[in-house]
Amino acid sequence: MQPAASIVRATGGYGASFSGDRQSPAFDGTWIVKWASPAGMPDAMALETDVVQRLEATPNAAVIRPKRGIPADEWQRRWQSDTAVAYLTPNQIVRSHAKPSDPYVSFQEYLGLIGAEAAWELNVDLTPVKVAIVDTGIDYDHPELKDAVDEGINLVQPGKPAKDDNGHGTNVAGIIAAVRNNKGIAGLANHVRLLPVKALDRTGNGKEAQLGEGIRYAVEQGAKVIVLSVGLMKDDPFIREAVEYAESRDCVLVAATGNEEGPYVNYPAAYPTVLAVGGIKLDGSVEPRSNYGPEVDLVAPWNVYTTKPGGRYEYKDGTSMAAPQVAAAAALVRGRQPGLKAYEVRSLLKQTAQDIADPGWDERTGYGIVRIDRALTEPVLRDPAEPNNNRLSASPFPVHSFVSGEWMPGDEDWFWFEAPESGMLDIKLHAISGEEKLAVTGFLGPNDSQEGPYHLSSVQPVLTLSVPKGRSYLRVTGGNRHLLYRISSELRMAPDEFESNNRPYTAYTLPERSQVLTGTFHTADDQDWFLFQPSKRGSLRVQIAPSSKRMDPILTLIQPNKTPKDIDEGGLGKPEVLPAIEVSPGVAYYIGVRNYDPFAPVGTYKLQVDYVPAANDPHEPNDKSYQATAISFGAAYEGIIDETEDEDWFAFHVEHDSLLDIAVTGGGNDQTYKLALFDSNVNERDQTSGAGGGTGIQWTARVNQPGTYYLRITSDRKNLFRSYNLTVNQTKLVEGFLDIDGHWAEKQMVSSVRSGWMTGYDGYAFKPDRYITRAEIAASLGRALKLSAGGDAVAFADVPAEHWAYGAIQALAARGWLQGYADGTFAPERPVTRAEMAVLVGRVLRIPVKNIGPASSPFKDVPVGHWAQPMLRQMYAGGWIDGYDNGTFRPNDNATRAEWAVMLTGMFKRG
């Protein structure tokens, strides 16, 4: 194991360049001086130097140190070179052979960090001290502990021994008192008697009653130090009284801050008279899992190697392991100086701590790492805050802490504090010499708002300042005589802006909108009530979020004709949510907020009130057909289904056979809408349904008779806040088709359909400009001519008997009107060209093409010799066909269905 001096490194060596760095456990900050003449210390040196001890056996020599507030480096350099000084050398600790030889001491890496080894080497005389461990008990039979453990008490199972059935208490006990006997590990304080107080069960949990009783029991049994490696988040009055009782009996309480990784020092560590101990890493850096805040006093290593039940050992960590190191330090101080009061022990441990973070006190490490060696060698300062004579040199006075001071006439003591929240700061006087008064003046917040001076005395021991969040300053002065004083501070929350609203009948009325409010629990029994009374129907959702883990809020809702409802599911530091409820106009809804435990935690809560008024339905009332809202095609209409029984009716008029495209979009995603279509006699014709939200319902319905029609919309559930959108578009149908209205061949297509010769496609489409196939021409011609297959069947490889146009194809092929191809196929889906269409019609009409005179062609693109030229010439001459304006026929273009309808109807009109 490395020497302690090398674990926490000094900034320089010894001799002329030695700086007196307080970080070395081998140097306690004092110096040996020998003056050059019997005259002794020069007056100038006396102004900035304290004499610790006069060395009677050495003429003109003494042990000295710089006064508090004097920079040690500058002091050392100035007087080391002064002609009045023969020599000035560090009063380094001389090490004996007292270092323990326990075999596992090398695992106890924390010992050097807290100056334990240096303290042991002092070989000081110590009077026995009783240390109580309020925990899970202690293993009475552990070889390291059995000779140091008293009987104690079991508060979990009264009447049984306080034996450890968890291990935590034994861990704590080993850190303090494991015997240094060349076996196992080395405890910090072998002069103590351990008093086990079992207040926690085998799971490491306990009740507040046992914790409070355990503290009182330990005090009554004569414990001078009590270690509490336990904690809870709330300021319990029962525990507070036990802590105050311990203070009144001059007992030092030491407690762990907790391991929740946040600014929430556990109770009882958070009480001003308890030493609150956080954790650091073995390299001296901050342990982020250790709780922090204004209550932190000291830190100690988080990781330890210690005793375990069953005569064993183990590594443990947490602030529970840091607290017993400070408790052992307190026991050593009490053993060395039995006459010190509890507050003086606390003050000495803080003033001798090794500062490791921000200079002075800070909320992460308090006053620094406990240093046992310094605590055993340095005196208690009457006024450890000095020099603090002005604002620039102000000393820390964290909220929820104690400070001691000494006042001289003409002196001023300045302190600063950081308030974590705006609130009321109670400053309490605990002791003052004589009947003097203290005058306290506050300089508060960034604007230095001055409050006071106010006077503290034994008659009026408490004053209260209203302080803002952040840094403020206090100035303390006295009267005409020298005096000593001790004061503490505690922050409590101020009443919030909504007070007084402690009962439903004094509830604060909320405006009719969504909002976020910030509130406080400023007294132990504080309840905050709010009234929400909407003028419109809507939805109300409430959530409360605490700012501190010390707060466990409960939400309460009171509404007419219902049992009040409490929402308490989240626990400490967790939000509570009242799910959205429907609220009615004119109805009073009372929202209550309180803390689960009847105490006033420091912190605020955010109350979020979300109010969403119901969407407006401009068409109500339209719940019946005779109340139906008249709509126009193509326009958009909004609606709300605000009850499951609600029906929305709409009406529209059609003049002719039409296709209606009905769309219902929006609404709630969890809603299913049902649409029903009625005729003018309110007889249901058709219906559909679908989910709301997104694209919703897209429905196509046909109405083939002129008249008034009705649309009814219903839903399986209501939704007050999301309206649906309705549009109805109309498309005129001609003979049941969408795409022939206004077409140049409309008349012929209508005729061919009515005659039953031609049909359309799905979706109300005739597709007049689509090419017509050989199968379609065969089928329509077969219907028009009422042909049957007859005769011998003509075999086509691609027209099986089950083909939909088989009969017609056979009939036309048998008559020679349509032929197949050389490969034995018919190609039923092949488009028919204009030339093929004309030739087919000519064949059906038996138009002759032989002996018709000289060869000629009426069309520029059908030359003589074209295979269809003879028939096209005859068809043209007979008025059956016509070409285009440019004199062409386009014989190879695909014939359209519209062109075929014209040819087909023309055949029978003239035939």
Which of the residues are catalytic? 135, 168, 320
What distances in angstroms separate CA 908 from CA 306, 330, 620, one per listed residue?
Answer: 114, 123, 58
Q: Which uninterrupted H or E stretch holds 211?
A: helix 208-220
Token output for 523: 């007294």
b/e 389-400 (16+ beta carbons within 10 angstroms → b):
eeeeebbbbbbb
- For residues 152-167, one letter each, b for 16 or more C-beta atoms within 10 angstroms of the residue's C-beta and e for the rest, the string is bbbbbeeeeebbbbbb
Q: Which residues contact 673 (CB under 8 A, 6 or more apart)?
A: 641, 664, 667, 689, 690, 691, 692, 696, 697, 713, 714, 715, 724
Q: How far apart are CA 415 and CA 608, in angstroms?
A: 38
Strands 303-308 and 49-54 turn out to be unpaired
Nearest in space to 407 (alpha carbons), one of 379, 430, 437, 429: 437
What is the edge-to-edge ordering of all strands in the sheet holding 153-154? 153-154, 192-198, 129-135, 225-228, 252-256, 274-280, 298-301
Q: Is 124 exposed, middle or buried (0-12, 13-18, 19+ CB in 10 A)?
A: middle
Closest CA to 264 of 229, 302, 232, 297: 232
Number of H helices, E strands in the chain: 17, 40
Structure tokens given for 248: 């009144």
Phi, psi of 319 (to 5 degrees): -65, -20
Q: Which H or E run contains 325? A: helix 319-336
163: closest CA among 197, 141, 146, 139?
139
Tokens 């707060």 sit at which residue? 551
